[in-house]
Amino acid sequence: MNEVLNKAIALAYVAGAIAVVNLEVAIHEIKLEKDDNAGKFQHRAEKLKSAFNTMFKTMEANLENDSMDEIRKRLELMIDNCWE
């Protein structure tokens, strides 16, 4: 893959992964508040997570291991920074 495509896919992966983590936090908080829409929200969030995982399995298989390791490290740092 070319460099621009690699970077675009990596950034999409990071943004999607951050969204999934934040969705999990939101689902947890909605359940704690016993919101009437918690079930619908959780169902839709699970569908989104499934789509995310399916879409990026191919990307992960096509990226070099070094690239994927670097992306995962950056992702962990970005998520940590979001919650500080």
What local confidence, expressed as pLDDT, does residue 5 receive?
A: 75
Q: Using one digit for the tens of pLDDT, what is the confidence trace for 20-79?
A: 888 888 888 888 888 788 888 888 888 888 888 787 776 677 666 666 677 777 777 777
Rounded distance, CA 62 to CA 53, Å?
15
Say what the pLDDT of residue 53 is.
79
How many of the other CB atoms lie within 10 Å of CB of 63?
19
Task: Please name the amino acid found at residue 55.
Answer: M
| Separation CA 34–CA 67 (nearest Å) | 41
Say what the pLDDT of residue 25 is.
86
